[in-house]
Structure 1
Amino acid sequence: MDTTGILDEALQRLHTSGPERLGRLTNHAPMAVEALAARGQARSVHRWLDVYARKLEEFPSCTEPVTEANWRSALGDPRRAGDWIGYFEREITERPWREVLTRWWPRLLPGMYGGSTHPVIRVGHAVRTLLAGESTEPRLAELAHGLGYWAARHRPVTGIAPLAGAGSAAAALDAVPPLAERDGGFPDRLSRVTALPVWAAAITDPNEAYRSLTELVRAATHRYATHGHGEETMLVHAATAPNAVLRALPALPQPFWVPSLRAAWTASAAVTAMYAPDSPVAYSPPGTLTADEIFERALAHGDEHVIKLTDTALDVGDEPALAAAVRSIELSEPLR
């Protein structure tokens, strides 16, 4: 993890901005700069952020403080994003960050599908940084912003009927039926997801849940190499959302691991149903490119989703994952 202070500088710079723009699009900068710093590219953080800065909006106005007495009525209200971030900033100032995360994870986990899964992804990046290095004020504030965004965009998914499952995560993703109507944005499509294959539902052991979640991240990342053209941006989240949960598990009590696996599977499978292409393309290996070279290409490309998928691909670390990262570079529009 970055020890130069650049990540902290970037986070301080970003915390004057809101978690979204245009009322619905996520501010990806905190996640991307954390990925750059984690992959040894801290020297490029401010240069990348200078280009991305045009997408930032001012921090949202606050209306009424969120408290222990009224938080339930504010949950899932995106107009309260500023109030929620303020609440978590106070909580993390007064209590150890792991204690706050442990308290709120089971409250927030059922609603990880709001905001196109970006809030949990932002939390996953923040937790990785805190686990890897010093708990500086900007890094603690970043966790508060991520949790506040999650609370504001909290959206549960209920009533999912079980379909015939499969033994592996890869086979279960292949068994996900695509939506018949695939128009509209993420919230519209999500409301049409009513049935998903069963996978890993019988797991009760936390360590097995951890292994299964690792398998899911690998399978979803591999799948992007052959299916990412269905929607080059949104299908990234089939891998990055469960990986965010995986990154958070070491900071959480083991009893939370099994429900976290189940929520992550629903997220990955739902994204697959919403955006999967009609047919895959042939697998293309990454050639002789190393992991570091591929990440440098992702940085040069600049798109925030490319950077985040490549970051996840490097977590997975094998050839099909690197091929997925290369595919995302090929499919996506560069940041300009």
Structure 2
Amino acid sequence: MDTTTGTLDEALQRLHVTGPERLGWLSNHAPMAVEALAAHGQAGSVHRWLDLYRDKLEEFPSAVEPVTADNWRPALGDMRRAADWIGYFGREIAERPWRDVLAEWWPRLLPGVYGGATHPVIRVGHAVRTLLATESTGPRLTELAHALGYWAARYHPVADLAPLPATGSAAAALDTVAPIDGQGGGYTDRLDRVTALPTWAAAITDPDEAHRRLTELVRAATHRYAAHGHGDAVMLVHSATAPNAVLRTLPALPRTLWAESLRAAWSASAAVTAMYASPAPVAYTPAGTFAPEEVFQRALAHGDEHVIKLTDTALDVGDERALAAALRSAELVEPMA
């Protein structure tokens, strides 16, 4: 993690004058990617990578009306209020410890974890990792405000999902997820067609077991990408990175929130799996054996933000199958121009 040169802070300051999305629905991945680069000792590449990504950035959106403690409910899930939400969390984090703000809003936002193709919770996970590992500088606290504000603006719950049985390992449970009917349409259209999911994590109440299960889920979803990523090379990345964002956030949360965090992470991962399922697995073996730092260097050379983020998660998992998934993503996803 870059804690001495200030490169990450500089990059975040560059990004905080830009919006959380572009073209009305595509997420700004830059804050997440630069945090991953800094976390893996690549601070020297941060600004060069941002220079390549800058054409995908839009200006920060206009405010509509301040969000307050009294009027926030109608603004929840209204992307037109993104600036209002970011302003609200900026004020909250300036006045209170960031962990207290996170603990208050985490259970409110969890039901809407699906919103923005899970990018908001992923952005929160990157912001929290930095705050847990390093000094709580102004730009890093502001990044958490942007991430939480984006989540509140893109809040999208899914109601009335029929529960399906699921037992055994996380990998086995993911294998039981049925694809949605028809694979056409955008993310929201597909999400609307998710009507039932296995309830693999429903009975868990013990915080330590929730942590263990969530770690297992991240490992299983990452491993699964190597053989199933061809279903949708970009979107299936989130089946692993979304639950990993939740896992990274657990240490900053009260233990009483860990079990419901597991359930939300499972539901998000399973939903993405259902929406972008591959027709059949394809065996994949990397052409050679690579150390973790070599795999991350390959992701950086590839340049795509999804490859960088999946590789970041694969390094958290840390085994050969996870590294194979990262290498597979670099084969499947178009490199950054």
| TMscore range, shorter length | over 0.9
**Which digits, 9 at most, give the CA deviation of each residue in 1:81-124, with x for residues without a partner?**
00000000011111110011011101111111100000000000
Q: CA deviation at 1:164?
A: 2.6
If the length of structure 1 is used for normalisation, what is the TM-score?
Answer: 0.99
**Which digits, 9 at most, give the CA deviation of each residue in 1:229-269, with x for residues without a partner?**
00000000000000000000000000100000000000000
Paired letter, 2:175: D
Q: Is the 8 A contact 1:286 1:319 kept in 2?
A: no
How far, CA to CA, are the matches of 2:173 and 2:145 in structure 1?
34
Query: Which residue number in structure 2 is paired with residue 36 of structure 1?
Result: 37
Q: CA deviation at 1:283?
A: 3.0
How far, CA to CA, are the matches of 1:113 and 1:202 in structure 2?
21
Q: Which runs of 5+ in 2 are unaligned?
A: none
Q: CA deviation at 1:288?
A: 1.7
Q: Is the 8 A contact 2:223 2:322 kept in 1?
A: yes
Query: Which residue number in structure 2 is paired with residue 327 of structure 1?
Result: 328
Paired letter, 1:161: A
Equivalence map 1:139-150=2 (5 Å) = 139-150=140-151
- Provide the secondary structure at the position in 2 that maps to 1:117: helix
Equivalence map 1:88-237=2 (5 Å) = 88-237=89-238
- Provide the secondary structure at the position in 1 that maps to 2:197: strand
**Which digits, 9 at most, give the CA deviation of each residue in 1:188-245, with x for residues without a partner?**
1001001111212221100000000000000000000000000000000000000000
Q: Is the 8 A contact 1:285 1:320 kept in 2?
A: no
| 1:106–1:134 CA distance, 2 compared to 1 (3 A) | same
Paired letter, 1:2: D
How far, CA to CA, are the matches of 2:324 and 2:98 in structure 1?
36
- Provide the secondary structure at the position in 1 that maps to 2:53: helix
Query: Which residue number in structure 2 is paired with residue 64 of structure 1?
Result: 65
Q: Is the 8 A contact 1:242 1:264 kept in 2?
A: yes
Q: CA deviation at 1:127?
A: 0.0
Query: Which residue number in structure 1 is paired with residue 2 of structure 2?
Result: 2
Query: Which residue number in structure 1 is paired with residue 247 of structure 2?
Result: 246
Query: Which residue number in structure 2 is paired with residue 27 of structure 1?
Result: 28
How far, CA to CA, are the matches of 1:267 and 1:200 in structure 2?
12
Range with greater deviation from structure 2 (194-203 or 111-120): 194-203
- Provide the secondary structure at the position in 2 that maps to 1:196: strand
Q: CA deviation at 1:285?
A: 4.1
Q: Does 1:297 align with 2:298?
A: yes
Q: CA deviation at 1:181?
A: 1.1
How far, CA to CA, are the matches of 1:283 and 1:167 in structure 2?
24
Paired letter, 1:176: V
Paired letter, 2:197: L
Q: CA deviation at 1:165?
A: 1.0
Q: Is the 8 A contact 1:286 1:322 kept in 2?
A: no
Query: Which residue number in structure 2 is paired with residue 277 of structure 1?
Result: 278
How far, CA to CA, are the matches of 1:6 and 1:299 in structure 2?
17
**Which digits, 9 at most, give the CA deviation of each residue in 1:299-325, with x for residues without a partner?**
010000000000000000001000000
**Which digits, 9 at most, give the CA deviation of each residue in 1:172-200, with x for residues without a partner?**
00010011211111111001001111212
Q: Is the 8 A contact 1:87 1:148 kept in 2?
A: yes
Q: Which runs of 5+ in 1 are unaligned?
A: none
How far, CA to CA, are the matches of 2:183 and 2:41 in structure 1?
39
How far, CA to CA, are the matches of 1:74 and 1:258 in structure 2?
27
Q: Is the 8 A contact 1:233 1:305 kept in 2?
A: yes
- Provide the secondary structure at the position in 2 that maps to 1:151: helix
Q: Is the 8 A contact 1:286 1:323 kept in 2?
A: no
- Provide the secondary structure at the position in 1 that maps to 2:147: helix
How far, CA to CA, are the matches of 2:78 and 2:305 in structure 1?
26
If the length of structure 2 is used for normalisation, what is the TM-score?
Answer: 0.99
Query: Which residue number in structure 2 is paired with residue 261 of structure 1?
Result: 262
Q: Is the 8 A contact 2:19 2:59 kept in 1?
A: yes
How far, CA to CA, are the matches of 2:168 and 2:108 in structure 1?
30
How far, CA to CA, are the matches of 1:287 and 1:243 in structure 2?
27
Q: Which runs of 4+ in 1 moved over 6 A?
A: none
- Provide the secondary structure at the position in 1 that maps to 2:163: strand
How far, CA to CA, are the matches of 1:219 and 1:156 in structure 2?
24
Q: Is the 8 A contact 2:286 2:328 kept in 1?
A: no
How far, CA to CA, are the matches of 2:47 and 2:88 in structure 1?
28
